[in-house]
Chains A and B, each alone.
Chain A
Amino acid sequence: MKKVVVLGATKGMGRAMARRLAERGDALFLLGRDAGDLAMSARDIEVRAARAEGSIGIAPCDLERPQDFASALDVADATLGGFDTVVVTAGLFATQDKLEAEPDLARRLLTADFANTVVFCEEARRRLLARGGGTLCVFSSVAGERGRKPVVIYGAAKAGLTRYLEGLDHRFHDKGLRVICVKPGFVRTGMTAALKPPPFSGEPDAVARDVVRAIDRGQPVVYAPGIWRLIMLVIRMLPRFVMRKIGF
Chain B
Amino acid sequence: MRSEDLVRIAAGRPLSRGLGRSYGDSSLPAAGDREVVSTVLADRILSFDQDTGVLRAEAGLSLDDIYRLFLPRGWFVPVTPGTKFVTLGGMVAADVHGKNHHQAGCFGAHVTDIKLRVADGRVVNCSPSVERELFRATIGGMGLTGHIIQVGFKMVRVPSPWIWQESERVPNIEAFIAGLKAASADWPMTAGWIDCLSSGPKMGRGILLKSRWAIPDEAPRRFPRPKRRFTIPFDFPQFVLGPLSIRAFNTLFYWKHLRRKQQRIVHPESTFYPLDMLWHWNRMYGRRGLTQHQCVLPNEAGAGAARRFLEVLVARGGASFLCVIKDCGPEGVGMLSFPRPGISIALDIAVRKDTPALIDALNECVVKEGGRIYLAKDAFTRAEHFRAMDPRIEEFQRVRRIWDPEGKLRSAQSVRLLGDRA
At the interface, yes or no: A125 with Cβ under 8 Å from chain B? no
At the interface, yes or no: A11 with Cβ under 8 Å from chain B? yes
Residue contact B44 to A190, C-beta cutoff 8 Å: no
CB proximity of A208 to chain B, nearest CB, Å: 13
At the interface, yes or no: B266 with Cβ under 8 Å from chain A? no
At the interface, yes or no: B45 with Cβ under 8 Å from chain A? yes
Contact with A along B42-55 (1 / 0, CB 8 A): 00111110000000
Complexed CA–CA distance, A244 and B47 (Å): 52
Contact with B along A174-196 (1 / 0, CB 8 A): 00000000000000111001100
Complexed CA–CA distance, A96 and B17 (Å): 29
Contacts of B1 in A (CB 8 A): 193-194
Complexed CA–CA distance, A41 and B42 (Å): 11
Contacts of B73 in A (CB 8 A): 50
Residue contact B46 to A40, C-beta cutoff 8 Å: yes
Contacts of A48 in B (CB 8 A): 45, 65, 69
Contacts of B46 in A (CB 8 A): 40, 43-44
Complexed CA–CA distance, A186 and B160 (Å): 41
Query: With A48-B69, A50-B73 in contact, do A190 and B45 touch (Cβ < 8 Å)?
Result: no
CB proximity of A45 to chain B, nearest CB, Å: 9
Query: With A48-B69, A50-B73 in contact, do A188 and B47 touch (Cβ < 8 Å)?
Result: no
From the candidates A10, A44, A50, A193, name the one contacting B2 in the complex (CB within 8 A). Answer: A193
Residue contact B2 to A43, C-beta cutoff 8 Å: no
Residue contact A190 to B48, C-beta cutoff 8 Å: no
* Size bracket, chain B contacts: 10 to 19
Residue contact A10 to B4, C-beta cutoff 8 Å: yes
Residue contact B69 to A189, C-beta cutoff 8 Å: no
Complexed CA–CA distance, A194 and B41 (Å): 14
| Interface secondary structure of B, over-half rule | mixed
Contact with A along B251-295 (1 / 0, CB 8 A): 000000000000000000000000000000000000000000000
Residue contact B44 to A188, C-beta cutoff 8 Å: no
* Size bracket, chain A contacts: 10 to 19
At the interface, yes or no: B3 with Cβ under 8 Å from chain A? yes
Contact with A along B331-368 (1 / 0, CB 8 A): 00000000000000000000000000000000000000
Which residue of chain A has its CB nearest to the CB of B1? A193
Which residue of chain B has its CB nearest to the CB of A53? B47
Which residue of chain B has its CB nearest to the CB of A11? B4
Complexed CA–CA distance, A41 and B2 (Å): 18
Query: With A48-B69, A189-B41, A190-B41 in contact, do A43 and B47 touch (Cβ < 8 Å)?
Result: yes
The contact sample of 16 A-B pairs, CB cut-off 8 A, is A15-B4, A41-B44, A43-B44, A43-B46, A43-B47, A47-B45, A47-B47, A48-B45, A48-B69, A50-B73, A188-B2, A189-B41, A190-B3, A190-B4, A193-B9, A194-B1
Complexed CA–CA distance, A11 and B41 (Å): 8
Contacts of B44 in A (CB 8 A): 40-41, 43-44
From the candidates B2, B47, B65, B69, name the one contacting A190 in the complex (CB within 8 A). Answer: B2
Which residue of chain B has its CB nearest to the CB of A204? B41
Residue contact A43 to B45, C-beta cutoff 8 Å: yes
CB proximity of B70 to chain A, nearest CB, Å: 9
Contact with B along A28-46 (1 / 0, CB 8 A): 0000000000001101100
Complexed CA–CA distance, A12 and B42 (Å): 10
